[in-house]
Amino acid sequence: MSETMIEVKDLDVSFGSAQVLRGVDLHLERGKTVGVVGESGSGKSTLAKVLVGTVRAAAGSAVVDGVDIVAANRREMGAYRRRTQMIPQDPYSSLSPRRTIAQTLAEAVDPARARVATHEDLIAEWLTRVGLAPEMMHRFPHEFSGGQRQRIAIARGLIIDPHLIIADEITSALDVSVQAQILDLLAGIKDSLGVTMMFISHNLAVVQRVSDDVVVLYQGQVVEAGPVGQVYSDPQHWYTRRLLDADP
Ligand code: ADP
Ligand code: MG
């Protein structure tokens, strides 16, 4: 099996007449995490949506987990989408307010046979893994704090054993101390399970905590890419320097 997870070349994405991504290149090896930074509106979420298959590229190529997602047909994309999971900023977009945590997780594991009893052991295991008590599975999302909900969203993304996780601003709505806990959790999961991840944030410090490589997006273009230590200590592009200077 190839060691490459993401190979994006010269990717263009437009919404109507607005070109949002221009000539984007991105490479990611299996087991690694790439951080994507850039200010609001730079195209980070659009890139994520292309990679999960909800936005189509206008031009260029994107081979992810062995699938050419620009050219793939519906059936190929159906299987691919299960293997690539997005963890959203707002956990409510993956957690139904009317379902218990157990019901949501059971449905994620097997949409056709979503009986909680069938999947109870796996659900308990994942809640433990993300730092929550297994008994909490019978509660509803509103009974948890923001940080706990984000933990559940992480479990929801990972419980089906995806090949690639895309985390889009998942700590942005949280207090700094809770942010740190979620980052520690992700770093631990990454080390123990070896998941491949794209970690998107406008916050450079947050990205540094979990990423091996970093890509800097500016107005839809990659202006700098490389190992996170190298890019942060010796930025080559003025925009990267500006972001680093602005970061407290
Ligand atoms: P980021 O995640 O970095 O804040 P986005 O990818 O969300 O950036 O947005 C990049 C640009 O694309 C923005 O100017 C945004 O307004 C525009 N955009 C995003 N989604 C759509 C859409 N569905 N239709 C039209 N414009 C969009
Ligand atoms: Mg965004």
Provide the ipTM.
0.98
pTM: 0.94
The pLDDT profile of the chain, 248 residues, written as one tens digit per residue, is 559 999 999 999 999 999 999 999 999 999 999 999 999 999 999 999 999 999 999 999 999 999 999 999 989 898 899 999 999 888 888 899 999 999 999 999 998 888 999 999 999 999 999 999 999 999 999 999 999 999 999 999 999 999 999 999 999 889 999 999 999 999 999 888 889 999 999 999 999 999 999 999 999 999 999 999 999 999 999 999 999 998 76
DSSP 174-222: S-HHHHHHHHHHHHHHHHHH--EEEEE-S-HHHHHHH-SEEEEEETTEE
Partner residues linked to 223 by β-bridges: none
Q: How far is the CA of 20 from the centre of ligand 1 (A)?
A: 7
Q: How far is the CA of 224 from the centre of ligand 1 (A)?
A: 20
Residue type, 185: L
Tokens 């690539």 correspond to: 84
- Among 13, 19, 20, 166, which is best to mutate for testing ligand 1, by the most ligand atoms less than 8 A from CB? 20
For ligand 1, atom 23, name the residue with the nearest CA.
15
| Structure tokens given for 119 | 């999947």
User: Which residues are near ligand 1 (CB < 6 Å)?
Assistant: 15, 18, 20, 38, 40-46
Residue 200's alpha-carbon distances to 45, 104, 109, 145, 222, in angstroms, are: 8, 24, 25, 22, 14
